[in-house]
Amino acid sequence: MPEEATTPPPEVHHRFLDETGDTTFYGKGRKLIVGQAGVSLTFGLGVVRIDRPLADVRRELQALEAQVEADPLLNTIPSVQKRVASGGFFFHACKDTPDVRAVLLRYLRELPCEAEMVVARKIPALFEKQHHGREEEFYADLLAHLVKNRLKRAGTLVLNVAERGSSTREKVLTDALKLATERAAKKWGGENLKARAVFNVQNPRTEPLLTVSDYLCWAVQRVFEQGEVRYYNYLAEKIRLVVDLYDREKYEGSRNYYDKKNPLTAGNKLGPPVT
């Protein structure tokens, strides 16, 4: 009796997403606070592809975390002690001190991976008109821009997202995927969208692979917020594309797209918020 032909299971492609900055526009009494202490001028989302067996990279990152915990020069740092006391150390770019960051930065420089990022200037008039003054819509719009180009490849696309409060609620992610699908179908035709995309919301404490996207996103944000290119330049080979989404002055010729031929510079630092 002939064997029945079996259909191979669909390929599974993992990507790792994180955010940088915040989605805050207003404080108490609807007072605009963009750019004030503790409130960023931009909000960004990044997606990372890792080109090595994920289990191997995860083990190596866990070994680096253990190294920091065991290092008497590093484990006396208050931010390290706080994370250790609350369940174990994990890397977090905006909270790590320079000497802790150096441990992971050197590893990332040698890691085969590639990041793409969308950065949004926090423009109140645009926020009100396009996103109806809702932070969830703002987040979903950026996420849709990031995801839409990944819906053509056949297989299951697992979008591992760092858990970040209300932004990563199921409805927000579902709305983002719907918007991404609509945009992709308009651009390439629905029949050419072959990916089955699913979100996997994870805690960065328990999924070390998310620290890769955390650090790469942070390096880009430092350029826009501080004009600091040191970390971006160090990791530039890992950052394939950065889109300054709302820089309308550079829309012509896609000059708001930054890559290895058109890298970010200190000149990309933003000034006071646009009102």
pLDDT confidence band for 165 (50 / 70 / 90) = confident
* Those residues with Cβ within 8 angstroms of residue 267's Cβ, 6 or more apart along the chain or in another chain: 227
Pick one of 3.10.20.310, 3.30.1330.60, 3.30.70.1400, 3.30.420.10 as the CATH number of 12-264. Answer: 3.30.420.10
What is the DSSP-derived secondary structure letter of residue 7?
P
- Taking all residues of the chain, what is their mean pLDDT, rounded to a whole number? 92
**How far out from the chain centre does Cα 78 lie?**
26
* Cβ–Cβ under 8 Å, residues 33 and 262: no
Tell me the per-residue pLDDT of 67-91, one tens digit each, with 9 for 90 and over: 999 999 999 999 999 999 999 999 9
Average confidence (pLDDT) over 192-199? 92
Average confidence (pLDDT) over 182-196? 91
Residue reference for tokens 């915990």: 69
Amino acid of residue 273: P
Residue reference for tokens 């890691």: 111
Q: At what angle do helices 135-147 and 170-188 cross, to 10 degrees?
A: 40
Alpha-carbon torsion (51, 184, 255, 43), positive or negative: negative
> Per 3-state DSSP, what percentage of the chain is helix, strand, and coil (rounded to 5)?
45, 20, 35
Strands 42-50 and 113-121 come out as antiparallel
What ranges do the domains of the chain cover?
12-264
- Give the pLDDT score at 8: 63
pLDDT confidence band for 274 (50 / 70 / 90) = very low
Tell me the per-residue pLDDT of 95-149, one tens digit each, with 9 for 90 and over: 999 999 999 999 999 999 999 999 999 999 999 999 999 999 999 999 999 999 9
Residue 30: other Cβ atoms inside 10 A: 9
